[in-house]
Amino acid sequence: SSTERTFIAIKPDGVQRGLIGPIITRFEQRGFKLVAIKLVTPGKEHLEKHYADLAGKPFFPGLIEYMNSGPICAMIWEGREVVKTGRILLGATNPLASAPGTIRGDYAIDVGRNVCHGSDAVESAEKEIALWFQESEIVSYKAAQFDWIYE
């Protein structure tokens, strides 16, 4: 449905490198709708919850340190198949394996500095949205362009 939601977060490197605008632009231009956005430094405990599935990995401590190294731009984007399509806009986890034209393929080199997070499934999107946002922070509105994007 056109109300599917995904959690997209511009990581500390993306924020510091001035990539908030370019990354938002890609989602906007595709036709997706921004329904929540904030700049946050949520702390290690929160970041460990966000990446709980990776807790056993050797890169986990470095990942948490990186994610805790500056503000993160947390967002919720809405639209038809936005979870899957958001991952396509992001590119592969390892930027060197990402095609040009994708966010990671255009803006990143190392896997540990891959500038942007996107939920990998509808279920994890719901979990991540609940972890990062209060219901009151999510805005409900009809985008003016809706009928020009969807048939």
Which residues make Cβ contacts (< 8 Å) with residue 6, sequence separation at least 6?
A: 76, 77, 82, 83, 86, 118, 119, 125
Contact 34, 5 (CB under 8 A): no
Which one of the listed residues 89, 117, 129, 132 is annotated catalytic?
117
Q: In the complex with Mg ion, which residue's Cβ is closer, 106 or 120?
A: 120
Q: Which is nearer to Mg ion, 108 or 143 (CB)?
A: 108
User: What minimum distance in Å lies between the beta carbon of 143 and ligand DAT?
Assistant: 27
Q: Write down the H helix ranges in 7-134.
A: 12-16, 20-30, 44-50, 60-67, 82-90, 103-107, 122-132
Question: Cβ of residue 57: shortest distance to Mg ion, in angstroms?
Answer: 11
From the CB of 59, what's the least distance to ligand DAT, in Å? 4
Q: Which two tokens stand for residue 74?
A: 């947390």
Query: What distance in Å separates the CA atoms of residue 47 and residue 145, rounded to the nearest whole number?
Result: 35
First to last CA, the chain: 12
List the interface residues with Mg ion, window 70-129 (CB under 5 A): 120
In the complex with Mg ion, the residue whose CB is nearer, 8 or 35, is: 8
Q: Which does 121 bind (CB under 5 to 8 A by kind): ligand DAT, Mg ion, none?
A: none
CB 149 within 8 A of CB 33: no
Closest residue to ligand DAT, Cβ-based? 93
Binding region for ligand DAT (CB under 6 A): 54, 59, 63, 93, 111-112, 114, 117, 120
50 is annotated as an active-site residue:
no
CB of residue 122 to ligand DAT, shortest distance in Å: 14
Catalytic residues: 117
Residues near Mg ion (CB under 5 A) are 120
